[in-house]
Structure 1
Amino acid sequence: MNKPIRLTLSLVALLIVPVAYAQELNKDIDRYRKGEFVIKAKPGASVVVEQLQHKFWFGAAISNGFVDGHMQPADKAQYEQKFLQNFNSAVTENAVKWLSMEREQGKVIYSVVDSMLAWTDRHHIPLRGHNLFWGIDKFVQPWLKEMNDAELRATLQRRAESVTSRYRGRFAEYDLNNEMVHGNYYEQRLGNGITKDMATWAHNGDPGAKLFLNDYDITTGNKLPEYMMQIRSLLKQGVPIAGIGVQGHLHAETFDRKELKRALDSLAIFKLPIRITEFNVPGQRSRYYKENIRTMTQEAEAEKAKELTDFYRICFAHPAVEGILMWGFWEGANWIPVSSLYHTDWSPTPAAIAYQNLLFKEWWTKSSGKAGKDGTFKVRAFYGKYKVTIDGVVSEREFN
């Protein structure tokens, strides 16, 4: 009799911890993501408050195929519709990478970036430029490696200044030099002051450019100490870091909740905005990626939906985090196809439904009523953009 009782108590204990933790997360979400929205009107006026968009970035990477003519028209139409339905921000998946823009020396391709920015501008979507530089050896063009140090330095300066001046004021932010914890060919060649020089050159072209760091295996805790050390060093050098990017796909089918929270808490000491820049679940350490598995069981789909919502909940509850961007949302244009919200035929996965329930139901504000005797209508609301209707008169307002 004792053994079953102990097992039952253990199971109850296991259940209590997640429930209590979820309650704490919800308290933090209410504390950091909401405020009292006060509407001024005539006493007794009818007021309707409807959220249109979150202030927090819920975004995704945009595939080159969406704008370069390689996506089928029917898929392109669906891609646009689903993107606008689900996301309020974006990042270039490959368009800005130097290897994509200038594979051959002197032959710079701007058309893809131009088209992508034209689309995001038209829909008022902030776009991250990923990335100005990427010093991982295999992503450095062979023609760059053939230069002497003086030529390389001058070429790096032209790259930074030409991109930022051409797109001055249009990118919300840039990843300055991608994944420096894991490799930095340019620093090996030109010394540890090159990152500050890159930032200076970027600001020559666009003094207002916001320059982020970006690296992987950070939310797992594996490379967190190295990243912390690097950030401290760069700040000491005077590198103008505007924010910290942490990728979110080096886990497996699941992720470590405690390590994610620990990483965010640790990085928050720098008092800089944090973005989850590249999220997938299942991730790069999953069997789906390693074995190129393209289908999931119903049970696995349900697990994926739970993993996604838990990851988003932890990040949304953290005051230092300002956004999460998926690295692909459709199986037809996603490096880990099963991590998508939509199948190839555009049918939604359980993760898509869970994601939409989270963002547009649980984390969404809609309220109505009458203004009080003092002419005010108050509602505790998520920060973002709203449609406010007062006695039939409609206006849009930012609540930040």
Structure 2
Amino acid sequence: MAISHRKVNKLIRITDTQGNPIKNSRIKVQQKNHKFLFGCGAFDFIPYVMNGDEEHKQITESWLEIFNYGTLPFYWGRYEPVEGQPNKDALMKTAEYLKSKGVTVKGHPLCWHTACADWLMKYDNETIMQKQLERIDREVKGFKGVIDMWDVINEVVIMPIFDKYDNAITRICKEKGRVGLIKEVFERAHADNPDAVLLLNDFNTSINYEILIDGCLNAGVPISAIGIQSHQHQGYWGKEKLEEVLERFSHFGLPIHFTENTLISGDIMPPHIVDLNDWQVDEWPSTPEGEERQAREIEEMYRTLFEHPLVEAITTWDYRDGAWLKAPSGYIRLDNSKKPSFEMLKKLVKQEWWTDTAVTTDENGCAAVEAFKGNYTISCGEDSVDARLVDDEEITVVLG
């Protein structure tokens, strides 16, 4: 299918510092980054940035060969296990490092009933809500300029009826209702950083999520993008389901992010498991045939999503095997060797969907170029300049 919406047709006017056109000259147009967000969980960067160990250095270097978008963990119970003592330093240093590498960073999540802070339980609901809003203030303001994208609230469809264990966020969601809670946390995050990209995120892709989004939009909730999780431990959704989900959630006209994607390169989890967390195994090996299957399925999924005009981001959840539930769901194996899925996706992102070309200017110093949207270096001889090509409007580039 056509992916023309991922490209620009750009007329570039090249001049010297005096404004004179650079005529009949060979101009290199070399892509440095995508506008599209090719993402992956970036948790492995934390031990590398903080400790500099060699194993995680190897992991992060191969990660950066493909991805330009990373998710960092802000699970409240782990980020602030003791009230008033958040682990800001590690997350800030890691986010700054990722940003220095041209990576867009997202924080995940600001509000969630799972992995919540146990110390919240000693408070009444009004105080819990106040502390939740203060937490949003602290993170969104404190990381502004480094992290400007957040999963504001996670898995709200199940939140008020979640019954695995008592927790503070389910309590306030029961009291305020789903839309009521979502509205408060989104409005606070938006006030703290009006330019931030704010996501509602869920694994539930049924009509219940559609109804929830509709209710939120009718209530004026400032949702920037719809987050859709696709943990496919029990088998690949397939192109038909992907297109069906895309069609239903496109009706809102909002950008769509596939926020947490996993595809398995070993045995598939049995279909009778309702909660994926209930599947506990001693080991879950990757297999050669499973790796070939994983690569094929990921390729079809990425092509399907990249073709859809509302999809702006795809995030693989696990970069290395064994990260969650010991599943072989990564792009690299436990020994850090690259799987077929790694090579396949790198070829898509950095070759097939990548622009590295040369054009010749005319008598007016102009040259037309078709290029994938993103960041570029434009050069002539020894002179070069950085440019962002994201629309079809003519630009003037000054070299020299």
Aligned match for 1:315, one of 305, 308, 313: 305
Does 2:216 match 1:230? no
Q: CA deviation at 1:102?
A: 2.0
State the alpha-carbon separation in 2 of the partners of residues 285 and 229 from structure 1: 35
State the alpha-carbon separation in 1 of the partners of residues 366 and 326 from structure 2: 50
Contact kept, 8 Å, 1:56 with 1:323, in 2: the verdict is yes
SS of residue matched to 1:134: coil
Contact kept, 8 Å, 1:61 with 1:327, in 2: the verdict is yes
Q: CA deviation at 1:133?
A: 0.4
1:190 match: 176
How many residues matched? 364
1:121 match: 99
SS of residue matched to 2:357: strand
Q: CA deviation at 1:116?
A: 1.8
1:280 match: 262
Q: Which has the higher contact order (CA 8 A, sep 6+)?
A: 2
2:157 match: 181
1:210 match: 197
Distance 1:108 1:64, change over 3 A: farther
Aligned match for 2:294, one of 300, 304, 309: 304
Point out where structure 1 has 5 or more consecutive residues left out of the alignment: 1-23
Q: Which amino acid aligns with 1:362?
A: E
Does 2:8 match 1:35? yes
Q: Which amino acid aligns with 1:38?
A: L
Aligned match for 2:244, one of 259, 262, 286: 262
State the alpha-carbon separation in 2 of the partners of residues 271 and 254 from structure 1: 26
SS of residue matched to 1:39: strand
SS of residue matched to 1:78: helix
2:188 match: 201
Task: Map residues 64-79 of structure 1 onto 2, 5 A cutoff.
Answer: 66-67=46-47, 73-79=53-59
Contact kept, 8 Å, 1:90 with 1:126, in 2: the verdict is yes
1:253 match: 235
Task: Map residues 80-229 of structure 1 onto 2, 5 A cutoff.
Answer: 80-92=60-72, 94=73, 96-136=74-114, 139-184=115-160, 185=170, 186-192=172-178, 193-218=180-205, 223=206, 225-229=207-211
- What TM-score do the two structures reach when normalised by structure 2? 0.83
Q: Which amino acid aligns with 1:276?
A: F
Moved more, 257-266 or 389-398: 389-398
Task: Map residues 327-346 of structure 1 onto 2, 5 A cutoff.
Answer: 327-331=317-321, 333=323, 335-346=325-336
Q: CA deviation at 1:109?
A: 2.4
State the alpha-carbon separation in 2 of the partners of residues 44 and 344 from structure 1: 53
Q: CA offsets per residue over residues 189-226 of structure 1, 9 Å max, x none?
A: 334422211123323433433321001142xxxx2x11
Q: Which amino acid aligns with 2:184?
A: D
Moved more, 349-358 or 41-50: 41-50
SS of residue matched to 1:361: helix
State the alpha-carbon separation in 2 of the partners of residues 77 and 370 from structure 1: 41
Moved more, 291-300 or 261-270: 291-300
Contact kept, 8 Å, 1:249 with 1:283, in 2: the verdict is no
Q: CA offsets per residue over residues 126-149 of structure 1, 9 Å max, x none?
A: 11110100035xx33343233222
1:50 match: 30
SS of residue matched to 1:85: coil
SS of residue matched to 2:91: helix
Identity %: 25
Larger fraction in helix: 1
State the alpha-carbon separation in 2 of the partners of residues 247 and 298 from structure 1: 26
Q: Which amino acid aligns with 1:198?
A: V
State the alpha-carbon separation in 2 of the partners of residues 338 and 284 from structure 1: 6
Q: CA deviation at 1:115?
A: 2.2
SS of residue matched to 1:232: helix
Contact kept, 8 Å, 1:215 with 1:246, in 2: the verdict is yes
State the alpha-carbon separation in 2 of the partners of residues 189 and 323 from structure 1: 33
Q: CA deviation at 1:182?
A: 1.9
Q: CA offsets per residue over residues 141-191 of structure 1, 9 Å max, x none?
A: 343233222222222222122222222233121111101012141310334
Q: CA deviation at 1:325?
A: 1.1
2:164 match: none
Q: Which amino acid aligns with 1:196?
A: K
Point out where structure 2 has 5 or more consecutive residues left out of the alignment: 15-21, 161-169, 271-275, 391-400
Moved more, 346-355 or 198-207: 198-207
Distance 1:278 1:314, change over 3 A: same
Distance 1:103 1:231, change over 3 A: same
SS of residue matched to 1:245: strand
